[in-house]
Structure 1
Amino acid sequence: MHGLVRAELSNIIQGVTKGYEKALEITGVGYKAQLQGREMSFNVGYINPVTYTVPAGIDVKVDKQTLISIKGVDKRLVGQVAANIRSIKPPDVYKQKGIRYAGEVLRKKAGKTGK
């Protein structure tokens, strides 16, 4: 087997035997996440909380309201759910606030300099 088929079969076998996991962390004063059944609620600086429905086949766990663990069998679905959650409030390069992947390093940009 070659290429895509081999990679897909390898991902399916690894997903069934070990599973896939992505971790996200929320940074910022007052930023937090809550899980109620299949609904996630995010308070990330907007006026109203942002809700996200977790798809079937994905297990989500929220620790200390700032750490999110996403587990599942399908590698693509786990990655897509993590990307969707991250897109709710992407990390800000100036203030270092937002939702980011665990271990993601952001280079802090300098703001405007005063005269």
Structure 2
Amino acid sequence: MSRIGKKVIPVPGGVTVNVDGQTVNARGPKGELKFVVNELCTVALEDNEISVKPVNNSKPARSMWGMSRTRIANMLEGVTNEYTKTLELVGVGYRAQMKGAALNLALGYSHEIDYPAPDGVKIATPKPTEIVISGIDKQKVGQAAAEIRAMRPPEPYKGKGIKYADEYIFRKEGKKK
């Protein structure tokens, strides 16, 4: 039994939810999101609470159960409060700036990198060494942050690269003479 899947999802105030078969629509103050639940799960909206149940007791149905419940809960959280991820650039000459709708990065390569912001994701650079990614879809925000971080992941010797603001970089000792 899924401990996560068993929990009901309370609908926050100011959010309207519409369950139509396998499709769940949520509209809130920040925007609107839609999620299509796998056919191995059933969704029900009763008394301002959403419950997700597996169709049968098979392994694939139980696997989709908790994931579907979490995706719906993240959707409701996203339309009330935006998700944000903060990235930090560590290294001499590493900088980021917005050029129109694209993020321009100087990461020590022979060329600068332009990263276009995906739909539904806002990118801001309050400082040249800080990138703030925000949006209502948790998956899109996390994916954009991971793609930007992958352009120059932090290295363990000096810690240079792009890292999450709350990430700890395990340092290694360098060569000894």
Cα pair 2:97 2:103 within 8 Å, conserved:
yes
Amino acid at match of 2:75: I
TM-score by length of 2: 0.62
Within 5 Å, give how 1:45-64 maps onto structure 2: 45-64=108-127
The CA deviation at 1:90 is 0.4
| Residue 100 (structure 1) aligned with residue 100 (structure 2) | no
Q: Distance in 2 between matches of 1:97 and 1:50?
A: 17
Moved >6 Å (runs of 4+): none
Larger RCO (alpha carbons 8 Å, 6+ apart): 1
Q: Distance in 2 between matches of 1:82 and 1:106?
A: 17
| Residue 83 (structure 1) aligned with residue 146 (structure 2) | yes
Give CA deviations for 1:10-58 in whole Å, capped at 9, x if unaligned.
0110000011110000011111001112111111110110111111100
The CA deviation at 1:66 is 0.6
* Higher alpha-carbon Rg: 2
For structure 1, list consecutive stretches of 5 or more residues without a partner in the other structure.
none
Secondary structure of 1:109's aligned partner: coil
Within 5 Å, give how 1:1-115 maps onto structure 2: 1-2=52-53, 3-114=66-177
Aligned residues: 114
- Name the Cα RMSD after superposition: 0.9
TM-score by length of 1: 0.94
